[in-house]
Amino acid sequence: MPVNIQWFPGHMAKALKQFKANLPKVDIVFELVDARCPYSSINPEIKKISKDKPHLLILTKSDLADPKMTQRWLHYFRHHGYAAIAIDSKQHVKSGKIAKAARQILGGQLEHRHQRGIKSNNVRAICVGIPNVGKSTLLNQLVHRRAAQVGNTPGVTKGTQWLRSGNGLLLLDTPGILWHKFQNQTIADKISLVGSVKAGQYYNDDVALYALKFFRNHHPDELAKRYRLTKADFNLNDVDLLLKITKNVGMRDDYDRASLRVILDTRKEKLGRFTLDDVAKVEA
Ligand SMILES: Nc1nc2c(ncn2[C@@H]2O[C@H](COP(=O)(O)OP(=O)(O)OP(=O)(O)O)[C@@H](O)[C@H]2O)c(=O)[nH]1
C-alpha cells in the first residue's frame, strides 16, 4: 500500500491558525525546505496564507544534497520570483547571511519605517516549514540558545516571545510546523524518504523501492558498493533488487527490515549526497 497521501493530522488546523495569528507580528516569513527535495518540500499553503508578506526560501541540509543541484535549484527559484538561499546547519550558520538576505528583500519597507520615525532597525521573522526540515536547529544556531528570549522588546506584542539573533534579527520562538498536503504519490515518497513523515504513516518497502529506483538511475556506483551488488543485479526488477539487498545485508527474507535499512542508510548519507527533485523535469 502506498504512503497515505490523505494523511493530514488534526493538529494541522491548530498550527495553521497559530501561523495566521503570528503573521501580522512579523516582517518576513522564512520558509525552510529540504535541499534534497526543495521543490517537493515547499508547502504551497505557506505563500498562499502569507499573501503579500515578504518571503525568504531557505534550503536546509545542503550538506546532504548534491551541491550542483542545489545551485540549480537556487537559480530556478530566483528565476521564478523567490528570494532563496541555502544553508548547512552542520556548519555554524551565520546570522549575517540570513539577515543580509532578509534586509535586501525588505529594503523599501525598512526605509519607509525609518522615514516614519521608527528607529528600530530590527527585522522580525518567523520560521516555518514541514516537520523535520531543520527549523529548531536553525533557531538554536542563530540565537546561540543562551541569548534566548527577549520578551520585552519595545514594539513587540505582549505575550509573544522573541529570540534575538545577531544583526538585528528577531525570531519568533515557536517555529510554525505546517504539514504537507501531498499532491501526488511521488512527493509523498520523497518527503517520507528524507524523514518528514512520521514513521507508521508509510510502508517501509514502498519508500525503499522508491529509493532504489532513484539510486539505481542516478547513483548506481554508490548503491552497488553499499550493498555489494554485481552488474547482473542491476538487471533485476526493483522488487527482486530489494530481495537481493535483503540477502546481502544478512536479513534472510525480512525485506521489511531491509527496507528500513535502505531508508536509514539514505538519510545517513551512506549512499552519498543526493537530490531527489530534478530541475530539468520541473522545467520540461
Ligand atoms: N546534516 C544536517 N542535518 C540537519 C541540518 N539541520 C537539521 N538537521 C537534522 O535534522 C533533524 C531535524 O532537525 P530539527 O531542527 O529538529 O527539525 P524541525 O524542523 O525543528 O523538526 P519538527 O520539530 O519535527 O518540525 C535533526 O536530526 C537535525 O540534527 C543540516 O543542515 N544538516
Name the average pLDDT for the chain.
87
Cα 33 from Cα 180, distance rounded (Å): 11
Ligand 1 mutation target, pool 41, 88, 128, 132, most atoms within 8 A of CB = 132
Among residues 119, 103, 124, 69, the alpha carbon closest in space to that of 276 is found at: 69
Task: Tell me the average pLDDT across 118-137.
Answer: 88
| Nearest atom within ligand 1 for CA of residue 93 | 31
Task: ipTM value, please give it.
Answer: 0.99
> What is the atom index within ligand 1 of the atom nearest the CA of 132?
21
- Taking residues 65-82, what's their average pLDDT? 96
The domains located in the chain, with CATH, are 10-173 (3.40.50.300), 203-283 (1.10.1580)
Residue of 77, 73, 55 lying closest to 65 (CA atoms): 73
Query: By mean pLDDT, which of 20-29, 63-72, 103-112, 127-136 is the weakest?
Result: 103-112
How is residue 167 written as a grid cell?
A: 544583526
Q: Model confidence over 130-188: pLDDT tens digits?
A: 889 999 889 888 887 544 343 334 334 445 688 988 888 999 988 788 877 778 899 99
| Beta carbons within 8 Å of 183's beta carbon, 6+ residues apart | none
**For the residues 209-238, what does the mean pLDDT come to?**
97
Tell me: the pLDDT tens digits for 13-46? 788 888 999 999 999 999 999 999 999 999 888 8
Cell (9 digits) for 94: 551565520
- Residue identified by cell 548534491 is 66
Confidence class for position 3, pLDDT limits 50, 70, 90: low
pLDDT at 180: 73
Pocket residue to mutate for ligand 1, from 41, 43, 59, 89, most atoms within 8 A of Cβ: 89
Helix residue ranges per DSSP H, the chain: 11-22, 44-50, 67-79, 95-115, 135-143, 185-193, 204-218, 220-227, 238-248, 255-267, 279-283
Amino acid occupying residue 32: L
The predicted model scores a pTM of 0.91
Task: Specify the ligand 1 atom closest to the Cα of 177.
Answer: 25
97 HSE (CA, 13 A, CB side): 15
Residues touching ligand 1 (Cβ under 6 Å) are 60-61, 63-64, 88-90, 129, 131-137, 177
Ligand 1 atom 9, closest CA: 134
Place of cell 552497488: 224
**How far are the Cα atoms of 115, 195, 222, 273 from residue 36, in angstroms, in the given order?**
42, 11, 17, 8
